[in-house]
Structure 1
Amino acid sequence: MTMPTPTLRSKPIIHSDFPTLCDGLDYAATCDTGFNFYTGKGDLKTALPYRELRERAVDVAKRLVKFADKDARIGIAAVSSPEFAVLFFACQYAGLVPAPLPLPVTLGGRSSYERQLQRMAETGDFHALFTPASMESIMSSALNDTNVPVISFEDVLTLPQGDNLRPHGPDGLCYIQYSSGSSSSPKGILGTQFSVSSNCRGITRDGMQMKEDDRGTTWLPMYHDMGLIGFMIAPMMSQLTVDYLDPQDFTRRPMTWLQLISDHKGTLSYSPTFGYELCVRRWREDRELDLSSWRAAGIGGDMVRPEPLTEFAKTFGPMGFAEDAFKPSYGLAETTLAATFAPFGQGLLKHTIDMGRYERTSEAVEASDLTPDEQKRTFVACGTVLPDHAIEIRNFDGDVLGQKQVGQVFLKGPSVSPGYFRNKQATEASFSKDGWLNTGDLGYWLEDQLVVTGRFKDLILWHGRNIWPQDIEWAAQAAAPHRCGLACSFATGGAGDEKNIMLLLECRTRDPQLLDEIYTAVTAAIRLEVGVPVKLQLVPRGTMIITSSGKLSRARVKEKFVTGQIIDLLDETPMKIVKSDTV
């Protein structure tokens, strides 16, 4: 009977203090730890000790050296499987640059997926694309107009084998991480051996303060930086055992995530807020869980929403989950993964501000007893910056701002990417010559901790106010009297104050009476809580487009809307012009 790899390493822990990933895996292979892959029911499918991972990766690397020139890009379908891990590390030993690719279920329909994949292959100038046999047809269809060969994981093992390895040096590349696809042209973010090693060290030594008896558990996809770096590369670089659940299995059976933590005494696990929210919705009190071992329940990948997290702690507190185990953090793929971590034991440091004041002056002033409830907004602090890194909050003139003044978040440090692959224009727009990265996020300082308020490009400017689309979306979802899905808000039309503010809300019904009830309730709530004119349109389930990281792509939903590809359930016809009333 196959057993999962143990928690204890049998060798001293080394916190990612290696110049390259190959050096890290060479050491990890001397330990007893490794990766374990589970079914949706929590049964062990495959155990992959680091020693076996290295053996298999070296074998494949000798084939890849003959297959492609040094630094050639190899697209790899990033399934949560031993095969993906083997191929990714084989590229490291062969001196190739892997590009983990999102899967068809993530990008809103086959045609949309194929367009995105083709753009990635073209911008990355792929030498080949490796995929499971089950996905070979859709990958081949997507790349039909290119000369990029699509090769199954199984057929890679039949390539002729050479004798030599060609590992990356400390100054070499490591991977290309594609942006999550919120725009029409995904950008290839370069990860170097130096930047990745630096960030892994910051994560394991400083942010997570990893211990000898720690064990990771994850359902995060490998094509996103939280999954790839946070739960594959960084754990390997610190010899940590990780238990994996496929992301699709998680969405069907989220309790399996918690069951794995309970069964194997997991201590470290991360999720965007919606993952915790899904567990609360699906909890049926049909099993016994012991979550007392979970010392770091990380939150990242999207805005940290305190209400669902508080509900998670309330629901699973009786099973040993400690609310102060919550560990908000902030990061982005351009800085490899992590930039800030909340201190251990802090939990959710909440800051409720007066949004009316914020929208007028860009100051994060605490709400008072005189602040109307609809003007209050609670943010969560995302912690302090990693050692050897720096963050500045700047206004649009480039001036550095002080406490509780909202501006653009700039970041500098050894983890920052050198830029985007073969995209000089985008690189110059985001990365300064003196090493500062414009993250595109807005935030402020709460003493020494960063509070992130949203993406600058999503901000809606209306009559001198800064309107956050998330506020409109969350108000709509909370007010809907029947089960509704995702909401998406954005501005269309004229410039300045002539623009229209749209709100699309997915509904899981086509019953006219229920739709009318939803419309009436949501319009009333938006009028009360947001106080700006919003045009509401009820749309079918599955209308929204989700990025590879699980985020709502407002830009692509807006593009879909303005080109007449959105159906109005109150009209049942594709619409280019909104007929719904203004809230």
Structure 2
Amino acid sequence: MTDAAQTLTPTPNDCDLPRINAEFATFTEAVDYAARSEKGLNFHDMRGNLQRPYPYREMREDAIAMAHRLIASGIGREDRVALIAETCAEFAALFCACVYAGAWPVPLPLPTTFGGKDNYIDQLAVQLKSSDPMILIFPEEISEMAKAAAARQGCEATSWQDFARRPAPECALPEASPEDICYLQYSSGSTRFPTGVAVTHEALLHNLYGHAATMHLGENDRCVSWLPWYHDMGLVGCFLSLVANQVSADLLKPDAFARRPLAWLDMISRNPGNTLSYSPTFGYDICARRISSQSNVGERFDLSRWRIAGNGADMIRPDVMQSFVNAFAEAGFKASAFTPSYGLAEAVLAVTVMPPGEGIRVELVEEERLSGTPRDISRPARYRAIVNCGKPLPDMEVAIRGEDGNARGDHQIGKVWCRGPSVMHSYFRNTEATDDCLVVDDSGDAWLDTGDMGYTADGYLFIVGRAKDMIIINGKNHWPQDIEWAVEQLPGFNHGDIAAFSVETEGGEEAPAVLVHCRVSDPVERVKLREQIADKVRSVTGMSCVVELVPPRTLPRTSSGKLSRAKAKKLYLSGEIVPLELAA
């Protein structure tokens, strides 16, 4: 640990101020209350050394000063302020400043290692066009890209370092109402046709209350997170919820986790109060793979106090979770700590959460039943493990509906609909998209059609996949996850190495296509590998498929790290993904 880090004291887990479970009318009230405690955010470097403790009291002071600067710059109620969401004190203060000023903060992603400079500028430009902000505020190190994107939209652009130098004359701040929009949230896949989810104070606080209630948040709980603040799981679950529920947190930047994933577990081990942390499946997968060759797990880590190991943001894979348990049981990690959940930005974040302590629970379901097609009795039945994603938050309701909109019973697969106080207000300036997902049933009740497929059983929700990802060949439905998982069982492949989707063949017929990261250099061996993959997919689907081997790190991901099948298909069909050469 550096000398500088030794002189810093992290914010405490407990304090004299009674903790309130997000029972506030507006988020500004939540910030005001949190600022009365000594708790706060703690920002760490790549190695997990504390760089900056940031008590909520200091965050509020900075936010109010920034709110005065926003108003002095001509930014007022309902104006949008685009913020590049770096995990740092400046973003935290600016987000809160926008809310104090009555403006709508719009968190947008940092550049990732996927795609490059031009793709990032394109993505940022379309999100700016959609949100139509008065100003874009960004960290200095991405100045060139941020200004290039802002120039296309014609909005002002400045670094937060320069913005902080502007005058901040005191002025009256507007009073927020529960029904006011608090912020706009863009999904991680928002690129060509972005849709900004408009979230009200009321919806946000309801969801944040649900976090505390369902996870039995205690006085001394503490959170550790590396999740990006431009994704709803990171923004809501690991920033806004911490403020509204007065929880201290230790934070890593996402790129620090990408370079040194085990620093995440080091940080959990370091502070006795670190009991809460969340990750998509791939985060647990990376850590289990990194530690597999080490023998000092029990000496290096202490994960015995990790009470809530949240899972969400992508399909939860029980095999990966079991690998993590196997890898870290010696460090005291308990399988019962896993807390699967289901949610989406259109419902702020969480819709269902597994009751703490129940861990990963799965049901084995025939693949034919998942796809809604009769089973070929000439072939043995195949099963997929479907993970239980828990029960709805307080005052949230989940229903399974058929294509005709009629309700389905337990264990009957259909579209996942939900309703309750957490459901979004609308998509910003996109009435058509809003009407597509906010539907009214035959009884006149309004619901959010999530676009996901699943079923319920005894009050629990099981998610099968996204309806739009379904591959339909000759009238038979196939889930891309089933194809991808089958290929991953072959030696040498990792989670995220395969993208499956449908393409039109030269004969005009639809066929499954599989893009696979290939680490084999010999052209002859590549031919053998392609045949092996084709055989594996044939055993799953019963039909031939197009197999293309592509260089490692070729398959595109969303800003939150999830595989983007739609973009992979688009890049492949446009010729931007070039397959590797094979032996003649």
Same fold flag (TM > 0.5): yes
Following the alignment from structure 1 to structure 2, what is the Cα–Cα distance between the partners of residues 24 and 397? 42
Aligned residue for 1:33? 39
Q: Which one of the candidate residues 74, 89, 103 is aligned to 1:82?
A: 89
Contact 2:534–2:544, Cα closer than 8 Å, also in 1: no
Which stretch shifts more, 254-263 or 109-118? 109-118
Distance 1:66-1:428 versus aligned 2 partners, 3 A rule? same
Q: 1:535 aligns with which of 539, 546, 551?
A: 546
1:510 CA drift (Å): 3.3
Unmatched tracts of structure 2, length 5 or more = 1-6
- The reply on whether 1:319 has 2:331 as its aligned counterpart is yes
The yes-or-no answer on 1:144 pairing with 2:155 is no
Which among 108, 119, 123 is matched to residue 116 of structure 1? 123
How far residue 162 of structure 1 moved from its aligned partner, in angstroms, is 2.1
Cα contact 2:410–2:455 (8 A) shared by 1: yes
Give the Å deviation of 1:511: 3.1
Larger CA deviation: 86-95 vs 160-169 = 160-169
Of the candidates 111, 126, 134, which is equivalent to residue 141 of structure 2? 134
What is the aligned partner in structure 2 of residue 282 from structure 1? 290
Closer, same or farther: CA 223–495 of 1 in aligned 2, 3 Å? farther
* Deviation string, structure 1 residues 370-421 (Cα, Å, up to 9, x no partner): 9947x11101100011111111100000110001110000010000001100
Counterpart code for 1:337:
L
Amino acid at match of 1:342: M
Among candidates 10, 24, 32, match of residue 16 of structure 2: 10
Deviation at 1:482, TM superposition (A): 6.4
Distance 2:126 2:523 in 1: 41
Conserved 8 A contact 2:523-2:582: no
Provide the residue aligned with 1:226 in structure 2. Answer: 233
Could you say which residue in structure 1 is the equivalent of 2:497?
486
Contact 1:13 1:239 in 2 (8 A): yes
Between stretches 500-509 and 133-142, larger displacement belongs to: 500-509
Tell me whether 1:303 sits opposite 2:315 in the alignment.
Answer: yes
**How many residues are treated as equivalent by the alignment?**
566
1:197 aligns to 2:205 (yes or no): yes
Following superposition, the deviation at residue 329 of structure 1 comes to: 0.4
TM-score (norm 2): 0.93
Between the aligned partners of 2:200 and 2:437, the Cα distance in structure 1 is: 17
Once the two structures are TM-superposed, the CA of residue 475 in structure 1 deviates from its matched residue by: 1.5
Q: Say whether the 8 Å CA contact 2:373–2:477 is kept in structure 1.
A: no
Q: How far apart are the structure 2 equivalents of 1:353 and 1:111?
A: 43
Partner AA of 1:209 in structure 2? H
Of 130-139 and 539-548, the range deviating more from structure 2:
539-548
Aligned equivalents of 1:436, 1:484: Cα separation in 2: 34
Could you tell me how far apart the structure 2 residues matched to 1:22 and 1:106 are?
35
Q: 2: distance between equivalents of 1:482 and 1:552?
A: 15
Report Cα offsets for 1:482-518 as digits up to 9, x if no partner: 6796211111227999312110011234332442343
Q: Are the counterparts in 2 of residues 461 and 467 from structure 1 also a CA contact under 8 Å?
A: yes
- The change in CA–CA distance for 1:509 and 1:494 in structure 2 (over 3 A counts) is closer
Q: How many Å separate the matches in 2 of 1:240 and 1:357?
A: 43
In 2 relative to 1, CA 495–420 (structure 1 residues): closer, same or farther, beyond 3 Å?
A: farther
Q: Is this contact kept in 2: 1:462–1:496, CA < 8 A?
A: no
TM-score, normalized by length of structure 1? 0.93
Tell me the SS of whatever aligns to 1:391: strand
Residue 438 of structure 1: aligned partner? 449
Residue 173 (structure 2) pairs with residue 173 (structure 1): no
1:46 pairs, out of 25, 42, 52, with 52
Q: In structure 1, how many angstroms separate the alpha carbons of the residues matched to 2:51 and 2:188?
A: 29
Amino acid aligned to 1:500:
A
Residue 266 of structure 2: aligned partner: 259
Bigger mean CA offset, 113-122 vs 395-404: 113-122
2:196 alignment partner in structure 1: 188
Instruction: Summarize the Cα distance change of 1:514–1:45 in structure 2 as closer, same or farther, 3 Å threshold.
Output: farther
1:199–1:469 Cα change, 3 Å: same
Whether the aligned pair in 2 keeps the contact of 1:354 and 1:377 (CA below 8 Å) is yes
Task: Pick from 523, 536, 560 the counterpart of residue 549 of structure 1.
Answer: 560
Looking at structure 2, the residues matched to 238 and 481 of structure 1 have their Cα atoms a distance apart, in angstroms, of 44
Q: Quick check: 1:516 aligned with 2:527?
A: yes
Corresponding position: 1:401 with 2:408: yes
**Conservation of the 8 A alpha-carbon contact between 1:180 and 1:186:** no
SS in 2 for 1:549: coil
User: Are the equivalent residues in 2 in contact too, given 1:484–1:508 (CA < 8 A)?
Assistant: no
Question: For the structure 1 residues 118 and 183, does the alpha-carbon distance in structure 2 shift closer, same or farther, using more than 3 Å as the test?
Answer: closer
Query: What secondary structure is seen at the aligned counterpart in 2 of 1:378?
Result: strand
How far off its partner does 1:146 sit?
A: 2.5
Letter in 1 for 2:72: K
Unaligned runs of 5+ in 1: 364-369, 573-579
| CA gap 1:481/1:270 in 2 versus in 1, 3 angstroms | closer
Match runs of 1:308-457 below 5 Å: 308-361=320-373, 372=380, 375-432=382-439, 434-457=445-468
Contact 1:480 1:522 in 2 (8 A): no
Instruction: String of CA shifts for 1:77-98, please: whole Å, max 9, x gaps.
Output: 0011111101111111111110
Distance in 1 separating the partners of 2:460 and 2:525:
45
Range with greater deviation from structure 2 (238-247 or 145-154): 145-154
- Whether the 8 Å CA contact 2:136–2:150 is kept in 1: the answer is no
Percent identity, aligned pairs only? 39
Paired position in structure 1 for 2:4: none
Q: Distance in 2 between matches of 1:541 and 1:392?
A: 40
Most deviating of 232-241 and 98-107: 98-107
Residue 61 of structure 2 corresponds to 55
1-side partners of 2:505 and 2:532: how far apart? 28
Alpha-carbon contact 2:87-2:228 (below 8 Å) kept: yes
Measure, in 2, the Cα distance between the counterparts of 1:413 and 1:484. Answer: 35
Aligned to 1:367: none
- Deviating more after overlay: 329-338 vs 424-433: 424-433
2:511 match: secondary structure: strand
Conserved? CA contact 1:61–1:91, under 8 Å:
yes
Aligned to 2:3: none
For residues 222-255 of structure 1, what are the alpha-carbon distances to aligned partners after superposition, in whole Å with 9 as ceiling and x for unaligned?
A: 0000100001001100100011011111111111
